[in-house]
Structure 1
Amino acid sequence: MATWTSTEDGVENAALCAHFLEALPVNGAAVSVFVGAVPEAVVCATDRLAARLDELQFDLGEGPRWEAARTRLPVLEPRVQEVEHPLWPVFHMALMDTTVKALYVFPLTLGALNVGIVELYSTTTGALDRTDRAKALVLANEAAWNLLDHLLQVQEAATDETSLTSQASAESPLSRREIHQATGMVLVQMNVTPTDALLLLRAHAFSHGKTVRAIAGDVVARRLQFSPEAEGL
């Protein structure tokens, strides 16, 4: 598990961004999180330019980060300054004043849950080859799990212990069985471990302001499915 530290700007994990630089032919990286009720925040940025690229897109409301978040697909621009971008023309113009020549943006998703985004840039043109794309997807998946685990730990630490006790006593044995049953169903749907399946249930409940029991009931009743193809999570 990576180490998290608090700063004046929130929570950051420098190692999370550093992993992308170590494994891929890029010059900078930034990771942002936006899970449901969690206010969007930059988790880490390797340098001022990486942070500025993220900030520009947030301020403008356009750019590849928004495209990747909307489509839930990578946005790979190996020659970002050389072609027109009708979906984000203002951000494209802003890029012309930077040394950025290529952008590679990957959504951080777990099943149908949107966790955040990772933005990578290079000061030279060129596409990521198949091996590098595969590495980026693996790192993005690891980052998504890392972010979810941290956010849930923060939430639990901030939750009043008395409220937790009251909630636990109010839950019936049936609801516990539903949670176990739902965990097994998510395990199969996502091909993950029981621990990660329960983490997904907790994360979905957290991001939608519901209890784990309520989410488990939806899964068991097949109103909710955890898979990349599922809609509406």
Structure 2
Amino acid sequence: MSSSDCGVEDVALCAKFLDALPVTGAAVSVFGGAVPETVVCATDELAARLDELQFDLGEGPRWEAVRTRIPVLEPRVREGEHPLWPVFFSALLDTEVEALYDFPLTLGALDVGIVELYSTTSGALDRTDRAKALVLANQTAWNLLDRLLRVKESTASATITEASPLSRREIHQATGMVLVQMNVTPTDALLLLRGHAFAHGKTVRTIAGDVVARRLQFTPETE
């Protein structure tokens, strides 16, 4: 998969990382919970190949980033040993890649996907670039979650009738609690509730009940 295989919106999703950061290529994948993994976009063939290799092998920095939920930055990836992903590292040596930067796409407790960046020039991202990457990753996570939910709702509109006035009041209450916990707008708080329900195969009403009963709490990611 390359940029020619992506839609206009998908191409823009990946291209903004190249526009803002000193990297050569980017790929974005979405997954998590009930969502099957899908490559949303890749700026070039090598970016797509790096994603495919790691998916096929079940190892690599992208899986490390997903597991730990923190960025994995390899500014000089050809140097040193990589015991967590030896097979991928061996394959990497046959490419022009000199640096890898993987950023997990997370929203509170939700794992949305992964952004995989590579460069054919070695070197660390400076503090400003890391901050830019984190902002872009957060924006990408919200974008993907919104798109996933729109697709889900377009194929399951009948579930709207499940909600009663009582459950709506509980959802509104839970939305208020989440917006305080996450310091987001009411719209984004509701989106988080809906995304959590979607990812875990539950109804929004059930998730709202858990929030109101304080069995579930949304907390912002801290560095």
TM-score, length-scaled by structure 2: 0.94
Q: Deviations over 1:140-160 (max 9, x none)?
A: 00000000000000011111x
- 2:7 and 2:151 map into 1 onto residues whose CA distance is 12
Whether 1:16 and 2:18 are equivalent positions in the alignment is: no
Aligned to 1:4: none
What aligned pairs does 1:115-134 form with structure 2 within 5 A after superposition?
115-134=112-131
Percent identity among equivalent residues? 80
Cα–Cα, structure 1 residues 8 and 16, in superposed 2: closer, same or farther, change >3 Å?
Answer: closer
2:162 pairs, out of 144, 167, 173, with 167
- 1:43 and 1:229 map into 2 onto residues whose CA distance is 24
**Residues paired across the two proteins, number:** 219
2:29 alignment partner, SS class = strand
Aligned to 1:227: 219
Cα–Cα, structure 1 residues 165 and 146, in superposed 2: closer, same or farther, change >3 Å?
Answer: closer
Q: Deviations over 1:40-87 (max 9, x none)?
A: 010000000000000000000000000000000000000001111010
Aligned to 1:211: 203
Q: Where has structure 1 moved over 3 Å in runs of 4 or more?
A: 7-12
- 1:213 and 1:167 map into 2 onto residues whose CA distance is 9
Aligned to 2:51: 54
Tell me which amino acid in the other structure corresponds to 1:135.
K
2:36 alignment partner, SS class = coil
2:35 alignment partner, SS class = coil
2:191 pairs, out of 190, 193, 199, with 199
> What's the C-alpha RMSD, in Å, of the aligned pairs?
1.9
- 1:221 and 1:188 map into 2 onto residues whose CA distance is 16
- CA offset at residue 90 of structure 1? 0.6
The answer to whether the 8 A contact 1:18-1:46 is kept is: yes
- 1:199 and 1:229 map into 2 onto residues whose CA distance is 17
- 1:150 and 1:83 map into 2 onto residues whose CA distance is 40
- CA offset at residue 175 of structure 1? 1.5
Tell me which amino acid in the other structure corresponds to 1:67.
E
Ranges in structure 1 where 5+ consecutive residues have no aligned partner: 1-6
- 1:117 and 1:47 map into 2 onto residues whose CA distance is 17
Cα–Cα, structure 1 residues 229 and 130, in superposed 2: closer, same or farther, change >3 Å?
Answer: closer
The answer to whether the 8 A contact 2:61-2:85 is kept is: yes
